[in-house]
Amino acid sequence: RQPERAVVVTLAMAAGPPPPLEPSPLPTFSEEGFTEKFLRKTRENPLVPLGCLCTVGVLAYGIICFKKGNTRRSQLMMRARVLAQGFTIVSVVGGMVATTIKSRQ
């Protein structure tokens, strides 16, 4: 006499073979030029370009004052440039923090 064998049939086996896998289409990304990217980033964080413009403006005025011999005004503008650069850095870091918080939500 032969021992009886238990036959195990799973639901996956009962359903039949799986359907053939078809390659899914790859996502498409539009090419973004420099101007489009610059405008998008400016809309996302408008304080960074503002800080950069202030820094350049104060630096240019400081150099003009230095060339004219107005050393007192030139020194004042160099200190203002440092403040404008600090504002720009704070804006960059603030924008990064805001983007990180937004992406986590």
Per-residue pLDDT of 21-34, as tens digits, reads 777 777 777 788 89
Q: What is the pLDDT of residues 41-92, one digit of tens each?
A: 889 889 999 999 999 999 999 999 999 999 999 999 999 999 999 999 999 9
Q: Give the CB-side neighbour count of residue 105, counting CA atoms within 13 A.
A: 6
Mapped onto helix, strand or coil, the DSSP state of residue 46 is coil
**Dist. CA 31–CA 21, nearest whole Å:** 30
- pTM flag (> 0.85): no
DSSP state letter for 17: S
Return the H-helix or E-strand segment holding 74.
helix 71-104
